[in-house]
Amino acid sequence: MTDTTAETTGAATGGVRTLLRLEGLVLFVGMTVLYYKWEGSWLIYVLLFLVPDLSFAAYLISPRAGAIAYNAAHTYMAPVALMTLGFAGEGPLVLSIAMIWLAHIGIDRALGYGLKYSRGFGFTHLGRIGRAQEPA
């Protein structure tokens, strides 16, 4: 028997979904502990933690624009590149921003906020979110 839910919705299900959410939790905790050990400013942490969510504003343009902006701000590519540049150039602020950004992505994934599909904000790679969680 196969699980066709993932095939029709484009979302992870079952154990894979659980692993992806746990992975997000580990990322959040790991980056927050690393930031603590780094002795970063907690004021900066608090001020920057929700900055990636400014990408929501693109949903005012269209669901497609919103998904593109949200996904750009919620993938690992840019913060990992920043972290690499921070280590290579010994840039403490760059490293701090990268850790905070990755912690944000981690907690979002742990809470079930996955990467978005252009159908709308509630359609994610981790399943539906919001009021109507049944597939449309």
Give Dmax (Cα) for the chain. 52
Single pTM value for the model: 0.87
Residue 131 has pLDDT above 80, yes or no: no
Task: Provide the CA 70 distance to its chain's centre, in angstroms.
Answer: 9
Q: Which two tokens stand for residue 89?
A: 């150039």
Give the pLDDT of residue 1. 36
* pLDDT tens track for 60-83: 999 999 999 999 999 999 999 999
The domain spans of the chain are 17-127
